[in-house]
């Protein structure tokens, strides 16, 4: 019997994962089946179960691979841009797509965020994806402050966390109210982005007052 190379084995695994990403993105976890992934991959049921335990494992891997691919694409797009408004809009677009997906098909990650019964492993993938978004947003804002594109009083940590919480809210609305289009999500996110870009160079008195009277973190 001819020996199967490691390269062939990896190619088969990649083919199955790519099919899973497509199927879970189109159908979501509940509606998708192993048979759907078999048809999309063009392989056999045996090939799928040789490499993966089942649907839950494939969904977890699909979400993790999708998060990594989205991050890589975002970094490349961001590196090509010069102005702060363009960089911020690309960041918002990336976060919205990661949360609610596009018009024709949602991402596996978007479906994962709307699942109320996520496993501990899947919740860890989602936490990692959220942390990555916060880190990107914080870095983007910190660099803009250092370059003088944003005023020094801008709280990069707070705004980054608040933006990602807003994005998380889109996923909640998708789960609870039947969805929000990516166009509506962008419009709402852009409206807050415009406020950030309009920030004056001096510390607004109202902001300083809030900081002086805010309770210390526990």
d(CA 20, CA 53): 13
Each residue's pLDDT tens digit, 6-34: 888 899 999 999 999 999 988 888 899 99
d(CA 25, CA 78): 25
SS3 179: coil
> How many residues does the structure list for the chain?
218
Quick check: 196 pLDDT over 90?
no
pLDDT band of 45, cuts 50, 70, 90: very high
Each residue's pLDDT tens digit, 75-130: 777 777 778 888 888 888 877 776 676 543 467 877 777 666 667 888 888 888 88
Q: What is the pLDDT of residue 58?
A: 95
Percent of the chain with pLDDT over 70: 79
Each residue's pLDDT tens digit, 59-78: 999 988 988 887 787 777 77
**Average model confidence (pLDDT) for the chain?**
80
Contact between 95 and 133 (Cβ < 8 Å): yes
Q: Could you tell me the residue ranges of all domains in the chain?
A: 64-213
Q: What is the pLDDT of residue 130?
A: 82
Of the candidates 184, 11, 15, 18, which has an alpha carbon nearest to the alpha carbon of residue 99? Answer: 184
Q: Does domain 64-213 bear CATH number 3.40.50.150?
A: no
d(CA 197, CA 152): 13
Mean pLDDT, rounded, for 173-194: 77
d(CA 126, CA 180): 20
Quick check: 35 pLDDT over 90?
yes
Contact between 103 and 96 (Cβ < 8 Å): no
Q: Is the pTM of this model over 0.85?
A: no
């Amino acid at each position: 019997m001819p020996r199967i190379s490691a390269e062939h084995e990896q190619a088969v695994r990649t083919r199955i994962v790519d099919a899973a990403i497509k199927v879970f993105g189109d159908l979501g976890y509940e509606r998708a089946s192993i048979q759907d992934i078999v048809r999309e991959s063009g392989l056999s049921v045996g090939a799928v179960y040789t490499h993966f335990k089942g649907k839950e494992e494939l969904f977890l891997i699909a979400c993790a691979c999708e998060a990594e691919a989205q991050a890589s694409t975002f970094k490349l797009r961001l590196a090509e841009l010069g102005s702060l408004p363009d960089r911020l809009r690309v960041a918002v677009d990336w976060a919205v797509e990661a949360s609610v997906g596009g018009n024709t098909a949602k991402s596996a990650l978007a479906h994962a965020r709307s699942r109320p019964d996520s496993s501990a492993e899947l919740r860890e993938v989602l936490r990692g994806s959220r942390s990555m978004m916060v880190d990107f947003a914080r870095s983007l804002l910190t660099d803009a402050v250092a370059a003088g594109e944003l005023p020094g009083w801008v709280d990069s940590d707070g705004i980054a966390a608040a933006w990602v919480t807003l994005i998380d809210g889109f996923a909640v609305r998708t789960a609870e109210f039947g969805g929000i289009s990516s166009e509506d999500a962008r419009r709402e996110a852009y409206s807050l982005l415009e406020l950030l870009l309009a920030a004056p160079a001096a510390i607004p008195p109202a902001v300083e007052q809030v900081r002086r009277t805010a309770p210390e973190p526990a």
